[in-house]
Structure 1
Amino acid sequence: MKNGEAQTASRVTAGVTFAARLAFENICHSFGPEAETLRDVSLAAEPGEVLCLLGPSGSGKTTLLRIAAGIESQSTGRVLLNDREIAGPSVFLPPEKRSIGLVFQDFALFPHLTILDNVRFGLTALSGEEARREALIALSRVGLEHYAGSYPHVLSGGEQQRVALARALAPRPAVLLMDEPFSGLDSRLKDNVRAETLAILRESRATAIVVTHDAEEAMRMADRIALLRDGRLVQSGRAEELYLSPANLFAAGFFSELNVFDGRVANGVVDTPVGKIPSPDIADGAKATVAVRLTGFEVSETEGEIEARILSRRFLGVVELLEFAVSGAEKPVRARIRCGALSAKARDIWLSLRKSDVLLFETQRESA
């Protein structure tokens, strides 16, 4: 690559043509009568936003992504791009006609092609010179134009991920789909590459749907999060909505480690080993589940509400992870506390609940 080409590429604005709304309407999918993977999922990614599909393995995240890309067909329901049906009972557009880019989990770079040729691989509708120019623009966007003549094996994992992103952005798609794009990176590199990727997505203005099983990653990246379980949409919304007001115990547990206590409402409260929890919205006599985040305890060696004995403590840097024995609790109670909050010799201590970290659910309604 000549220096002049890199300079030309860096001066060109490489924004997408438009940001689209991608909507799923009542999507069902199965691999047979006994293998239902998606169950009546309705969800939309709004123009220019980053939507994260979050959930455990087998929840249907990747299948939903493949349906959007046109790699998989839904059993019933529709996929719409800016309110135009691209997959449904009456139409099925092939992947190349959808203006949707896809970044695979393993990057899927061609080892025998240069970085530049990898990026321009899908630009078949352009002339050779136009394709080269657009590929250079995309490489410049991810800061790798100086590797245009190199081959994938000389790049680090993070650099290969950025090349895959450049290749997906080169055709200027209306929607970009990313399937666990950071799962192959080590934890320190992952933070940097994720931040770079998010900056590139914001700059390109493409609507993006990112699949992940990591709740913290979803909170770092997403404008909105859609939480899936067993092919169903459990809850969607902004990160703080899902964290502060989870729809059920599953949603709460996906965003926080929890201590869980089962009880029954009596006189407007649930009596647990760590205190009486007000339950104004659950009828007396109903079964209830109380969940307390590990950050939900204040600790003291002199005063508090509940007596506890320390069973173990692990130093984790800024915080300590503690296990306590509490009267009436069948299992040890766990907590994360600030280092230095207790002396090294502390054993018998007092706990107090932080009410903002206590969640209450009616047990019989906990179905998802």
Structure 2
Amino acid sequence: MAIDEAGRTRRTTAGVTFAARLAFENISHAFSPGSETLRDVSLAAEPGEVLCLLGPSGSGKTTLLRIAAGIEPQATGRVLLNGREIAGPSIFLPPEKRSIGLVFQDFALFPHMTILDNVRFGLTALSAAEARHEAMIALGRVGLQSYAGSYPHVLSGGEQQRVALARALAPRPAVLLMDEPFSGLDSRLKDSVRAETLAILRESRATAIVVTHDAEEAMRMGDRIALLKDGRLVQAGRAEDLYLKPADLFVAGFFSELNVFAGKVRGGAVETSLGAIDADGLSEGVHATVAVRTTGFDVSESEGATEARILSRRYLGVVELLELAVPGAESPVRARVRCGALSAKARDIWLSLRKSDVLLFETRRESA
């Protein structure tokens, strides 16, 4: 932490690293025969990019990270750093030879070591004086230089996370891997620590791969997002690509709470309890799934396309969460609407759909 002319402390600028391209080619992995954790995954993090690995528990995110770090070997496929194979049929570089840093989910700080000693722990190739100098620079990047002589137990969860980040950045890695780095933080701290971490990554210019199960977190941090399910890569791209053009219902449901309806294309539309939905190019007779985001409704007490009755409403601050009975719907329809859109006494209302929040997927073709 530097001190300016007014005597105020400030976080120093992160030292620049030489960002690398990390690529996975046809990676498969299994902890036991017949139980694959990764299935033919091909993916790349470009130089200086923040790539978020997103998916539910058991989707293979952390396993892919461990394979990149050299902690876990893959069954098939290759890992390449700037086009050079670092793990594959012909070579397996150990973790310390890969120029890849890793921030664990639980920070993995040594409680009996000072903050400075924790950060310089991996700088074994340097002299004691050089290691101390680099460690202090790394602590300055995260604004914790003044805690160099303290021990981890005196720090908050957010500060411990920043120490773990400093330790990973101290060797100036070409790629930084972060496994659920904010999952242990209080919800009130997450936003600020996440923003600080992203700023440090941008300054250091290291390529970063961040594992998370939180879609909003992935959208906030990632230049691109790779969504995994059951060990397979389902879709990769920018946040807006996955949100606006999801590859399937699983992707759509990971980024939005949905109301789902089944139907069949007749006359260029799918008939649902919310009305006819434009089939948008699907063939006649195809069975389709219509997904409507809970945010996709305009509500009125006097006019609209579909009648509904309010079953329950929950005040959430900016919005209200409504459960609605709609004629023909097998289960209640959920809607998030702006607070104040309906009077306190409203019961029978009208709904109108916003087309941008309606998604359509082909489910299966009718058998002959």
| Fold match by TM threshold 0.5 | yes
| Match in the other structure for 2:101 | 101
3-state secondary structure, aligned to 2:295: coil
Q: 1:330 to 1:83 in 2, by over 3 A?
A: same
Q: 1:162 to 1:2 in 2, by over 3 A?
A: closer
CA distance in structure 2 between the aligned counterparts of 1:14 and 1:345, rounded to whole angstroms: 56
Q: 1:136-285 residue pairs with structure 2 within 5 A?
A: 136-285=136-285
| Match in the other structure for 2:339 | 339
| Match in the other structure for 1:293 | 293
CA distance in structure 2 between the aligned counterparts of 1:13 and 1:124, rounded to whole angstroms: 24
Q: 1:98-137 residue pairs with structure 2 within 5 A?
A: 98-137=98-137
CA distance in structure 2 between the aligned counterparts of 1:14 and 1:311, rounded to whole angstroms: 54
Q: Is the 8 A contact 1:16 1:173 kept in 2?
A: no
Q: Tell me the alpha carbon deviations over residues 92-146 of structure 1, each in whole angstroms, 9 at most, x when there is no partner.
A: 0000000000000000000000000000000000000000000000000000000
Shift of 1:31: 1.2
Q: Is the 8 A contact 2:50 2:209 kept in 1?
A: yes
CA distance in structure 1 between the aligned counterparts of 2:364 and 2:59, rounded to whole angstroms: 22
Q: Is the 8 A contact 2:2 2:11 kept in 1?
A: no
CA distance in structure 1 between the aligned counterparts of 2:314 and 2:14, rounded to whole angstroms: 49
Q: 1:11 to 1:177 in 2, by over 3 A?
A: closer
CA distance in structure 2 between the aligned counterparts of 1:291 and 1:11, rounded to whole angstroms: 46
- Listed as ranges, the gaps of 5+ residues in structure 2 are none
CA distance in structure 1 between the aligned counterparts of 2:300 and 2:178, rounded to whole angstroms: 46
- Listed as ranges, the gaps of 5+ residues in structure 1 are none
Q: Is the 8 A contact 2:2 2:140 kept in 1?
A: no
CA RMSD of aligned residues (A): 1.6
Q: Counterpart amino acid of 1:138?
A: A
CA distance in structure 2 between the aligned counterparts of 1:139 and 1:2, rounded to whole angstroms: 10
3-state secondary structure, aligned to 2:32: coil
Q: Is the 8 A contact 1:223 1:238 kept in 2?
A: yes
Give the ranges of 4+ consecutive aligned residues of structure 1 lying more than 2 Å apart after TM superposition: 10-17
CA distance in structure 1 between the aligned counterparts of 2:361 and 2:188, rounded to whole angstroms: 37
Shift of 1:13: 6.1
Q: 1:185 to 1:174 in 2, by over 3 A?
A: same
CA distance in structure 2 between the aligned counterparts of 1:360 and 1:15, rounded to whole angstroms: 47
Q: Tell me the alpha carbon deviations over residues 19-59 of structure 1, each in whole angstroms, 9 at most, x when there is no partner.
A: 00000000000112221000000000000010000000000
Q: 1:2 to 1:190 in 2, by over 3 A?
A: closer
Q: Is the 8 A contact 1:16 1:174 kept in 2?
A: no
Q: Tell me the alpha carbon deviations over residues 276-325 of structure 1, each in whole angstroms, 9 at most, x when there is no partner.
A: 11113211111100000001110000000000000000000000000100
Q: 1:50-129 residue pairs with structure 2 within 5 A?
A: 50-129=50-129
Query: Once the two structures are aligned, what percentage of the paired residues are identical?
Result: 84
Q: Is the 8 A contact 2:11 2:141 kept in 1?
A: no
3-state secondary structure, aligned to 2:364: helix
CA distance in structure 2 between the aligned counterparts of 1:22 and 1:201, rounded to whole angstroms: 16
Most deviating of 26-35 and 42-51: 26-35
Q: Is the 8 A contact 2:13 2:141 kept in 1?
A: no
TM-score norm. by structure 1 comes to 0.96
